[in-house]
Every structure is written in structure tokens, then in C-alpha cells.
Structure 1
């Protein structure tokens, strides 16, 4: 019996659909690969600093880890979230060919983020007092407070950096960001060695190196925008329009910040809770290493999420909702493939990973024990990051903020507390709670993407 032959018209349609997936995949990879590099290189500044401090001893490692966690909770995540509003505004404006708005939105964001940094800097200044009030170890809190005070100048650079990167990302200009981030990371390694070991400035030297490196990155990127014909095409001189409709920007920026911060804060809260366990120095060190590892892997998903955010916002701005839906489907395939690779690699390096951060055998063994849990959380976190990127492209920040509130603060953190302190599973119990929260978040994002009418998502960016 002969096999049925597919009619030529259906075969042609299938070939056309496959071609669309391939073309979209090429566009996303062209954006995602440089953005992954940018994300890894920018985040590596904090990781490199913690690694250098880790070889000064267990207490400096705990202090620096607590400081970077506190800094992420109260500073970096807030600015990152507020800056991500530009992914919606600039991305859709570029798709709609309203190029004059790119510079206005970016300048407006810089003003708002710099003003916000003043208040955040005050929080960093009193890091020690806040941590002691939260019943953290006094020695660890003192070291963390000193670390964050030396890092305050870098907070303002970080604010500007978020705006400049989103400005270029919306235009699909990503290679200059990769180059400047790479140069900054190389300089940062030298500065950490110089300040920490050469002039024996200790953990303060690592914090100072962080601050200087962020400013170097801003200066290099600003020079690219100023003198590169491609980068400077839509960045005009400072305009008074940047002061107009600040509340309009905040209406998107605040939910954007909440969307990202509610997730970031729950992860960082795990480190703070670890300080209340029976062996706080060990638990804090291991959970901080775990978190640094998680964020390092997360940078890969951030690159893919940035690419899908740009593709979705550009297509919606151009009035092509079906192309936006296709972009989400392709990104989901990438996220699944990347997640499986990350799971495999995480498990394979579990016995040696702790040695990069510490010489203490107890720390190395504990890190190896918790790595399988990190593998699962990395997979889920990578998938939600991509779907969250699509949400930012659509302007769904308010909805996603509600999702994250329920996932992490109704399910995740309560589960972590019960497992760690009631069932006495310790740090591993805290991380299992986070996995519960991630599972709820992923489920909610999948449902909303599957039930979305993409034709209703097309928005017109106002002049």
C-alpha cells in the first residue's frame, strides 16, 4: 500500500511556516548572543569581586556576599526594573518609526533613575544598621555596611547604564554594548587584584573596583553613542521634552520595577533568612554562592529575554501582532533547549564549583550538595525570564507584578520558611521554597501567553 502524498499546496504552506521559524530564529540569535554576552559581562563584575574577597577568609566572603545581596535588593534590581520600562516604550516607538521619541524616552528615564538613586544611596549608607535590625550577624553586617558604602558611586553609573543599553537594544544595536562590557570586565579583573591584594585594601577595594568599573562602562558606551554614526542616529541633544510627562513614564516604570523586584527580592531574601539558621556563616556563604551561580546562569536567559522583548515590542509597534506571537514561540524553543544544557552542566560541575569561591572544605561539600536544586531552579527561571521578556514587550508589567506577588510571597517564601525552620531542612529547604514560587510563576506566564489575542496587543505610541 502506497503512502499518501501530501498535496503541493499544503507542502508549500509547511515549508513557508518552517522558513518563518528559521528566519525569526536567526533574528533572535543575532540579538540574543551579544545580549547574553553583555548580561554575563556586566553581572560578572559583582561575581569577580566576591571571588577575590572570598580568598580573604570566610567572614569577608560572608560580608561581601551579604552586601551584594542587600545591594541587589535595595538598589540594582530597582534601577534595573525601572529602566526596563524603556523596553516597552523605545521598542514599540522604534517599531512604529517614531524615532524622535527614542532620545526623549531615554533622557526622561535617566532623569528619573538618577533621582531615584539618591534615595537608594541613603539606604546603602545605612546597610549595617538595617541588617542588624533584621537580626543578622553583627560581624557580617559591619563588613557588608562598609562594602556598600564604598560601592555607592557605582549606583548612579548603574542607573545611566540601564538607560543607555535599553536605548541601543530597542534599535537592535547590540555589538557595541558587548564590546564595551568586555573591555570593562577585563579592566575590572585588574582593578580587583590591584585594590584587594596589591595595595591590601581588602574587601573595600573590591567594592571600589565595582563602582569604578560601572562608570568606565558608562563612559565607553556614551562615547560609542556620541561618535558612532549608527549608535548616535537617534540620540539628540538634551531636550526639555524629557521633563514632560514624568508621571507617564513612572506609570510604566513602577510596575516594571515591581515585576522584577518582587522576583529578585524573594531570591535575595533566601540569603537574609540563611543568616537566621543555626550555622549562619556557613549557610550564608553557601546560599550566597548558590545565588551568585543562579544569577550568573540567569544572565543567559536575560539575553534571550532581552531579544524577545525587542522583537515583540518592535513587531507590535509596527502593527504586526502575528509576527510577535511567532517570536514568542521561537523564544520558548530556545529557552527550553538552553535550560536542558544548563541543567546538564550544573550537575556535571557540582563537585568543583565551590572551589572557585572558597578554600573551606565544608563550603565546597555543601555547594556540591545543593547544586542539583540549582539545576532545577535554573531551568524554571530561564523559561520564565523569556516569557517575562515577551510580557515587557507587550507592556504587561502590571499583570506580571501581580503574578510575581502571588508566586513568591503567597507560595514561595512561606514554603521556604516552613521547610527551613519547621521541618529543619536548612538552606536546602529555603531553595526548595523558591522552586515552588518559580513553578507558579512559570505556570501563570504560560497560561497568559496561550490565551492572548495578539491582534488586541497592537499599541500606538503617543507623540
Structure 2
């Protein structure tokens, strides 16, 4: 982006940008002095959320000490905003996960080969392609929230123009990145054969992925549009309404294509591609019909493509790639766990694992929603030039995640002996589920801290820390430990795998929290300012 002093926080006195290429000031440390904290001045301002005017957190007239706690009123207000942002995000992700589940339920009735191929294809598509939308769009989380905070005070049209350039850049970059993935999907059969997969499975997965290619740009576009709205804290329920319409519609379309139109197995990916385009256009339609939730005017101006959308790709990719690695490493780790469960050679164990995974898929949307809300708030405060408030938002979100995790833990523990009956009548399976559920309780409790701390790191543009923590926690710790506990002298089976997952996630949460505790928030503000002066 071109140099533009107006991109600095309009309600602050700009500090001298002292960090140069020779500056050795650490990005992570505990503050020992307060002399650099006297640059930032602000007054209490109004912001809009979901069509209503709400008060920003009390912005102190002068932040003199980042370690000095903000008022209880400020903390409660921040918690309120976090809840407002995270609630629709949680529901959105729950509905989004139901799309794959619905497709698998419909196509699975064709036979066991079709069921296995569809599950494998969805997994492969998620890890290699759809992850570009899920993980790559986290760069827009960071840049969008920081830019929106940095441009506070500018007229809405100017702020929207800068956001639209980021939106267009994200769409172009991530779809260009999908081109080699699309080539892989089209010729994936020999690749899967080299990995030792069954010949029939390879052919079916290749057919599935080929018909999934046309819908993936729409999937990426939907994810980017969702982030575009979230970072501006407008139309929070637009994505939820879109999926409330498209989730049941997806099952209907899949059924029609598979059975009524007699397309069989390939009807599922064709229906999924069509659903992704419907999702994108419904979301855009809601935006243009409802407006931005503030002025009730349709002044989005997403087109035409601005020439600056073709600039600054390297900084964008520097945030997008760690975002992809962070989510991708987690998804891949769970796939490895599934393979290890299969090696236990027990239908009871596999059935219990399937039930636990379904419960985890539902519950994980809660820390995921809190994580997205945390990114938005931390990025916003850094853009405003208020490091103390960014730090406060980080730790308020962690406490919020812990409290929500405690509620989920109580529910699971109370129902652990009967939970399995929701999915199976086999008393052996239900009994094993009851034994594993306490580990899932621990996993979800820690996942809240990991999600909130990871969201705070994304808000600060430090996705690389989350990616590194995930690689260490899952691949250097959880998977080796899980293999040892399950197949070694302990012979704990499924219990050993989930105990190892809990230990690995605890390591991830600890690493990310330590990074936040040692974060030099003042330097993050300066880096944010420099980012938008380029």
C-alpha cells in the first residue's frame, strides 16, 4: 500500500517510529519502563455493532503503564463485545461443518465404497485446497482488523476503500495459490497410488476432486467475505443466515443430483460446488440488500478491481502461509490419529472414536468463534495505537474461553455414561465412550485457551508463533506420545491417544500464552503503523 499518513490512528498522537533495521529492541519482553507509553492519547468514542451504537472500551486519555490494569468497567465492556462477536461466529462454523456431514450422509447410502471415498475426498480437499480459504483468510483477520482500527475517524467511504483493496488482494492471492492445488486434484490418482491406497478408491477420489474444482474459488470467496465483515464488526449474522439457508439446501441438492438425476457418486461433488457458489452469492446478496448495518446504504464498492490489489503480496503471504500451516497441522494430526485408531484393529474402538470426533467437531466451534473474535479485537486496538487495550482483550478472551469451557466440561461429565447412546445401542461402545469423554473434557477446556491465545497472536500478526506451537505440540509431542501410550508397554489404546492429544494441546496453549505474557505490545503497535505506511 502506498504511503499515506492518514492511515495512522486518527485519534492518537503519532509516536516516532524508532524501530529500524538496526534496532535490537526485542519483540517479546516484560515492560520495565513506561517512557514509551506516553505517546498515545484518545478520547472515548462511539462504534457501531450489529446496527446498534455501543461504547468502546474506556480509552484512557493517556496510557502511562501497560501493566497498570484497566478499570473493571472497561474489562466488562470488552467481554461484552467479545461475546457479541463470537456468538454468531460459533453458530456459523457449526452450520458450515454440517455441509460435509450432510453430503456424506446422503452419498453414504450408495454403499461402503462410496462412503469411504467421499469421506477420504472431503478430508483430502480440506487439507490441500479448502484450507487456503480457512487458513489463508486469517491474513485478512490480521490486516483487516488492524486497518479498521488504524483508520478510525476517517469517513466511512475512505475506510471502506482501504478494506476493499485488502479484500480484492486476498481473493486474487488465494485463488492464484489454488491453481497448483487444482492441478494436483485433477491428476491425484497416481499420487494416491504411490501412497499405497486402493486402486478403486484412488479413481473415485480423483473423480470427486475433479468435480470439486469449480466450487473451490467460491468457497475461498465465501471465507474471505465472511472475514471482511467480521473485521469491520458489521452484519455479524449475515454468514449465519446464509448457512441457515444453504445447509439444508445442500442436502436437498445432493439428494437430487445423486438419486433423482441419477448421477450417483459424482453427484455429491457437483452439488457441493453448486452449494459453494450459492453460499457466496447469498452472502453478497444480503450485504447489498441490507447495507452495512449502519447507514442502511449499499455502499460496499467491492468492484472494480483496484490496481493496488496486485501490490504487497509478499506481506500478505507472510501472514497467510503461517495461518494455513497452523490449521493444516492440526487437521493433519487428527487424520494421523484416525489412522492410528484403525491400527488398533477393533470395531468397538473405531465406533467410539467416531462418536468422540463428532462431539469434538461440534464443541470445537466454540473456541474457534472466540478465537476469531479475539483476533478482531486485538487487531482493532493495535490499529488504534492502544497496546494496553490489546493486551487486555487478549487475556479477557482467555478468561472467557475458560469459563465457557467449564460449562461444557460440566455438561459432558454429567452425561458421560449416557452420551454414547445418542449414536449407538452397543453397550460396549457406550462404555468406551464414557471412559474417553473425561479426556475430551480436558481437551476442550485447554482448546479454549489455545484458541483464544492463538487468536490474539493472529490479531498481532504473529501467526508464525501459532504455527510453530502447533507443529511442536502435535508432531514433536502428541503423536509420538500417543503411539507410545497406545501401542507401547502401557497399551492404553484409545485412552492413550486422547491423553496424548490433551498433553500436546496443553503444550500449544502454554507456548502461546507465554508468548503473549512476554509480548512487547508497544513494538506491535509500531509494526502495525509501519505496515500501513508502506
TM-score range, shorter chain: 0.7 to 0.9
* Matched residue, 1:189: 251
* Deviation per residue, 1:145-197 (Å, 9 max, x gap): 55444433332221111211111111001122221122111312323443455
* Matched residue, 1:106: 167
Secondary structure at the counterpart of residue 71 of structure 2: helix
Instruction: Please say if residues 67 and 144 of structure 1, whose CA atoms lie closer than 8 Å, have aligned partners that are also in contact.
Output: yes
1:379 aligns with 2:445: yes
* Deviation per residue, 1:102-141 (Å, 9 max, x gap): 1111111101111122222333345554444334566665
TM-score between the two structures when normalised by the length of structure 2:
0.75
Instruction: Please say if residues 132 and 178 of structure 2, whose CA atoms lie closer than 8 Å, have aligned partners that are also in contact.
Output: no
1:171 aligns with 2:250: no
1:268 aligns with 2:322: no
Secondary structure at the counterpart of residue 431 of structure 1: helix
1:389 aligns with 2:461: no
Instruction: Please say if residues 62 and 284 of structure 1, whose CA atoms lie closer than 8 Å, have aligned partners that are also in contact.
Output: no
Instruction: Please say if residues 256 and 401 of structure 1, whose CA atoms lie closer than 8 Å, have aligned partners that are also in contact.
Output: yes
TM-superposed CA distance for 1:334, in Å, is 1.6
Q: Aligned in 2, Cα 1:435/1:128: closer, same or farther, shift over 3 Å? A: farther
Q: Aligned in 2, Cα 1:431/1:205: closer, same or farther, shift over 3 Å? A: farther
Cα separation, 2, equivalents of 1:250 and 1:339:
33
Q: Aligned in 2, Cα 1:112/1:69: closer, same or farther, shift over 3 Å? A: same
Instruction: Please say if residues 304 and 331 of structure 1, whose CA atoms lie closer than 8 Å, have aligned partners that are also in contact.
Output: yes
2:131 to 77, 84, 94: 77
TM-superposed CA distance for 1:88, in Å, is 0.8
2:409 to 343, 356, 371: 343
TM-superposed CA distance for 1:69, in Å, is 2.4
TM-superposed CA distance for 1:438, in Å, is 0.6
* Deviation per residue, 1:409-461 (Å, 9 max, x gap): 11122222223343454444333332221111011112122222323321212
Cα separation, 2, equivalents of 1:359 and 1:130:
40
Cα separation, 2, equivalents of 1:347 and 1:143:
41
User: Which 5+ residue runs of structure 2 have no aligned equivalent?
Assistant: 1-67, 152-157
TM-score between the two structures when normalised by the length of structure 1:
0.86
Cα separation, 1, equivalents of 2:474 and 2:91:
28
Matches of residues 332-371 of structure 1 in structure 2 within 5 Å?
332-347=398-413, 367=433, 369-371=435-437
User: Which 5+ residue runs of structure 1 have no aligned equivalent?
Assistant: 1-13
* Matched residue, 2:35: none
* Deviation per residue, 1:276-323 (Å, 9 max, x gap): 4435x7766654554343232211211111111101101110111211
2:321 to 237, 254, 259: 254
Q: How many residues were matched structurally?
A: 449
Secondary structure at the counterpart of residue 82 of structure 1: coil
TM-superposed CA distance for 1:220, in Å, is 1.0
Q: Aligned in 2, Cα 1:132/1:341: closer, same or farther, shift over 3 Å? A: farther
Cα separation, 2, equivalents of 1:351 and 1:146:
42
Cα separation, 2, equivalents of 1:457 and 1:441:
22
User: Which region of structure 1 is more displaced relative to structure 2, 107-116 or 452-461?
Assistant: 452-461
TM-superposed CA distance for 1:354, in Å, is 5.9
Instruction: Please say if residues 69 and 271 of structure 1, whose CA atoms lie closer than 8 Å, have aligned partners that are also in contact.
Output: no
Please report the RMSD computed on the Cα atoms of aligned residues, expressed in angstroms. Answer: 3.1
User: Which region of structure 1 is more displaced relative to structure 2, 300-309 or 148-157?
Assistant: 148-157
Q: Aligned in 2, Cα 1:75/1:430: closer, same or farther, shift over 3 Å? A: farther
Instruction: Please say if residues 78 and 261 of structure 1, whose CA atoms lie closer than 8 Å, have aligned partners that are also in contact.
Output: no
TM-superposed CA distance for 1:211, in Å, is 2.4
2:150 to 75, 80, 96: 96
Q: Aligned in 2, Cα 1:369/1:149: closer, same or farther, shift over 3 Å? A: farther
TM-superposed CA distance for 1:256, in Å, is 2.0
Q: Look at both structures and tell me which one has the larger radius of gyration over its CA atoms.
A: 2
* Matched residue, 1:4: none
Cα separation, 2, equivalents of 1:230 and 1:152:
31
Higher share of residues assigned helix: 1
Cα separation, 2, equivalents of 1:360 and 1:204:
33
* Matched residue, 1:223: 285
Instruction: Please say if residues 485 and 496 of structure 2, whose CA atoms lie closer than 8 Å, have aligned partners that are also in contact.
Output: yes
Instruction: Please say if residues 339 and 383 of structure 1, whose CA atoms lie closer than 8 Å, have aligned partners that are also in contact.
Output: no
Q: Aligned in 2, Cα 1:189/1:265: closer, same or farther, shift over 3 Å? A: same
TM-superposed CA distance for 1:234, in Å, is 4.9
TM-superposed CA distance for 1:398, in Å, is 1.7
Instruction: Please say if residues 131 and 324 of structure 2, whose CA atoms lie closer than 8 Å, have aligned partners that are also in contact.
Output: yes
2:496 to 424, 429, 435: 429
User: Which region of structure 1 is more displaced relative to structure 2, 80-89 or 338-347?
Assistant: 338-347
Cα separation, 2, equivalents of 1:45 and 1:407:
29
Matches of residues 143-182 of structure 1 in structure 2 within 5 Å?
144-173=205-234, 174-182=236-244
1:462 aligns with 2:533: yes
Instruction: Please say if residues 301 and 386 of structure 1, whose CA atoms lie closer than 8 Å, have aligned partners that are also in contact.
Output: yes
Cα separation, 1, equivalents of 2:447 and 2:109:
30
TM-superposed CA distance for 1:72, in Å, is 2.2
Q: Aligned in 2, Cα 1:181/1:429: closer, same or farther, shift over 3 Å? A: same
Cα separation, 1, equivalents of 2:496 and 2:269:
31
Q: Aligned in 2, Cα 1:375/1:47: closer, same or farther, shift over 3 Å? A: farther
Matches of residues 55-66 of structure 1 in structure 2 within 5 Å?
60-66=114-120
1:328 aligns with 2:423: no
